Structure 1
């Protein structure tokens, strides 16, 4: 196991520990921190190990940070008129 995968495992462990701690803002500040650290780490994993490992780490990160991904999907859907009534 190389350095990028070890760092990705440490990121996942940190994300799970941070999810267990109580928070007044429902963990959004921690989610922003995890995204800011995770995106470059995802690039590093993809660079060292290839796109399949990058997709695997991306899926793992999306499962941990599922609410930011859900809100991003809703925002993109709203941009493209997904909430318009049928005529």
Structure 2
């Protein structure tokens, strides 16, 4: 029972750390976007097409990064399930 409890705690910690990393990444990207739009060198009221394309690309990078990190969390949880099944005959 003790092995299973340690395994479950380790799994939860790994998932929490991965989620924290995703949150930090998103926060950093949001700060970049805010700087692009509102910073001292930010854009005027109307965005020119080149800058609008840059903004859209930046948003796309955030979305792709989020999807990649979400997939990483899903892989961690899947590995956790397999490990948990092997430890002490856990079938959850």
- Does TM, normalized by the shorter one, top 0.5? no
TM-score class, shorter: 0.3 to 0.5
Q: TM-score, normalised by structure 2?
A: 0.41
Q: TM-score, normalised by structure 1?
A: 0.43
